[in-house]
Amino acid sequence: MDKEKPASPITLTASWAAADLKLYSGCYSLKLLSIHDHVASFQVTGWPHLFFIGDLQLARGPASVGLTPGDFNLFKGLLKQNSTGKIEDSRVIFNSPEAIMIIDRRGGEEKSFAPVSCFTENKRELVNVLNYYENSLKQPVLTTPSAVLLDRPGGEDFYRKAIADNFPAIIKALINQNKQELIKYCRNICGMGHGLTPTGDDLIHAAFVVANLSGRKGREFMSSLRPEVEVLSAQTGLFGRHMIEIGRQGLTPEPFLKYLEALSRGFKASEIINDMTSIGSTTGFDLAIGMTVTAKECISYGLKLDK
């Protein structure tokens, strides 16, 4: 009997791909962590963060590739629990019993998730727009303990106290570029909270992203933190670890990228708040509050926020 010929590979072209993926060349093995209606998450050997493949309804972000809804449904239908594959330069390759599937990110839109716009040098204008967004964040009934940073009710008292005691100290340590103090206070809230990305991890991400905007010295300081952050993030889950690491790199999901760019232009719009706070259960509020509070404190200190 003739051997059955293997099926031809199914090749899908990404609609968009995160620019930061170009940092990795060579071959890396990956393993499926979870798959949902609009996104699949993967752990990649040798990467300090996760990798995501989603459809166009997913809020775009770092370390991600986007497919059309039709292609994503095809991809999702061929994935199995504990599926494995590999990343070879610009291609993601999966071998399943049904087919070999290749996702090629070349040809898709390349999207950077590092804020590039310079903040206005008009301190009064920047404070004014920050106050607008801070007041907008205060309007809804908040269910996250990060509400304590806005002097609003919300969340459990234990978490509120931990945030109030440690987050301002994290910002101060970032301003002073004090590694020892920074890691000490980050450790007190890392992994703290509920969900895949706990509130403490989201706040650390927010502070790290803003710190990357404090000029060349700020970026160099954040870059130097990789060993310390790797040890720190071991105390939280994989998704929290992902948020902390991409924050250290100065990368953030698109709704928050747009927020920082709106600040840089002095642009006020309610849809900016809506887009941020629609992310997750509390993650959107935690990131927005963390970025706003960090930026205001940096400005109050006299730090120039500039890319």
| pLDDT value, residue 264 | 86
The sign of the CA dihedral 130, 250, 18, 100 is negative
Predicted structure pTM score:
0.94
| pLDDT value, residue 1 | 46
* Higher local confidence (pLDDT), 233 or 118: 233
- The pLDDT > 70 percentage for the chain reads 93
Q: What is the pLDDT of residues 46-86, one digit of tens each?
A: 999 999 999 988 779 999 999 999 999 999 988 877 788 99
Question: CB–CB of 99/56 below 8 Å?
Answer: no
Question: CB–CB of 260/175 below 8 Å?
Answer: no
User: What one-character-per-residue DSSP string does 103-119 give?
Assistant: EE-TTSEEE--S--SPP
Using CA atoms, how far residue 197 sits from 20, 128, 193, 240, 271, in Å, is 21, 30, 8, 5, 23
As a whole number of angstroms, the distance between CA 135 and CA 120 comes to: 20
Residues 6+ apart with CB under 8 A from 138: 150, 152
As a whole number of angstroms, the distance between CA 231 and CA 129 comes to: 36
Q: What is the rounded average pLDDT for all residues in the chain?
A: 91
Q: What is the pLDDT averaged over residues 280-291?
A: 96
Q: What is the pLDDT averaged over residues 217-235?
A: 95
Question: CB–CB of 270/134 below 8 Å?
Answer: no
As a whole number of angstroms, the distance between CA 32 and CA 35 comes to: 8
The domains of the chain are located at: 10-111, 123-301
CA 202 to chain centre: 8
Burial of 25 (0-12, 13-18, 19+ CB in 10 A): exposed
Q: What is the pLDDT of residues 109-150, one digit of tens each?
A: 999 999 876 566 678 888 899 999 999 999 878 999 999 999
